[in-house]
Structure 1
Amino acid sequence: MLRRTFCEITSIAVVGTFVPFMSCSGPEASLVRKLNLPTTMATINESSTIIEVGNAYLDQNPSENSPKILINQLLINSKDGSISKNTDSKTLQKLMSQKVKADFDNGETVIVRGWVLSRTEARQCALYSLSQSNN
């Protein structure tokens, strides 16, 4: 099965499974919940693995060790400029899937703890990790 197809098929299941259990506070809490779960990683790993990958990515990229910075990076859309913070969850998940595909197409990948991830997926893991450390 193609990675993209796998992502599309599992997106709905992942959002339905994990979003109710995520919590964070602050003005951007809703946005963090929409952005912080990398679809592919969440379907095949436990949250502890996602946290480990996110922490490792932050160790490799200390300049991105902030939810605000990660959110800003995730909301950059190479085609249209930036993505609105008010975008609904379903559209945002679709846009993140497109960003993941574009990252792979453009060679924007990173190796974190043995995983070859798109930069977008790695940032989502990092955001998830930071959101869980605040609980």
Structure 2
Amino acid sequence: MQRRTFIHLSAYTAIALTLPIIDGCGLNSTDKILSQPLFFSRLVDFKTITETGLAYRKLFPVEDNQAALNQLLLGNNASNDKKMIQKQLDEQVEQDFKAGKTVTAKGWVLSVTEARQCALYSIINT
């Protein structure tokens, strides 16, 4: 391979890797935000999130579908603003802990909101 070709291909690859993924591919941004338990994901890997989500779904079979979990997590918020949704989820997690709304799934004590996020993650990513 010529040096010039190699440099061009390297530059194109670098550009392609830094571009955001097109919204039309894969998850929509709301699903991605809803299915990411932000604080919990800083403590554990995605395999643990999936296993915890599966355990929660077994504990609460009524919530074992994407539509139900989306509704429970979004509540009355019809906004598509990612920052607003994330702020609402963070506040809900804090309120859950303050009110004692926790659940133990796979050995982890989580707020109900975080557990639902794990459940949604396990549905979307399995």
CA contact (8 A) 2:52 2:115 kept: yes
Larger Rg: 2
Aligned to 2:108: 115
Give 1:98 deviation, angstroms: 0.2
Give 1:104 deviation, angstroms: 0.9
Structure 1's consecutive aligned runs of 4 or more residues displaced over 6 angstroms after TM superposition are: none
The CA distance in 2 between the partners of 1:46 and 1:105, in whole Å, is: 26
Percent identity, aligned pairs only? 38
Give 1:32 deviation, angstroms: 1.1
CA deviation vs aligned residue, 1:12-54 (integer Å, no higher than 9, x gap): xxxxxxxx6xx745xxx33211210001111111100000000
Structure 1 segments unaligned to the other structure (5+ residues): 1-19, 77-81
- SS of the residue corresponding to residue 117 of structure 1 reads strand
Give 1:106 deviation, angstroms: 1.1
TM-score by length of 1: 0.71
Equivalent residues, number:
104
The CA distance in 2 between the partners of 1:24 and 1:58, in whole Å, is: 23
AA at the equivalent of 1:91? M
CA contact (8 A) 2:97 2:111 kept: yes
Aligned to 2:50: 51
Q: Pick one of 77, 98, 102 that aligns with 1:83.
A: 77
Aligned to 2:88: 95
Aligned to 1:69: 68
- SS of the residue corresponding to residue 110 of structure 1 reads strand
Aligned to 1:106: 99
Moved more, 51-60 or 36-45: 36-45
TM-score by length of 2: 0.76
The Cα RMSD (Å) is 1.8
Task: Rate the CA distance shift 1:118–1:104 in 2: closer, same or farther, 3 A.
Answer: same
Give 1:88 deviation, angstroms: 1.3
Structure 2 segments unaligned to the other structure (5+ residues): 1-20
CA contact (8 A) 2:29 2:82 kept: no
The CA distance in 2 between the partners of 1:66 and 1:53, in whole Å, is: 15
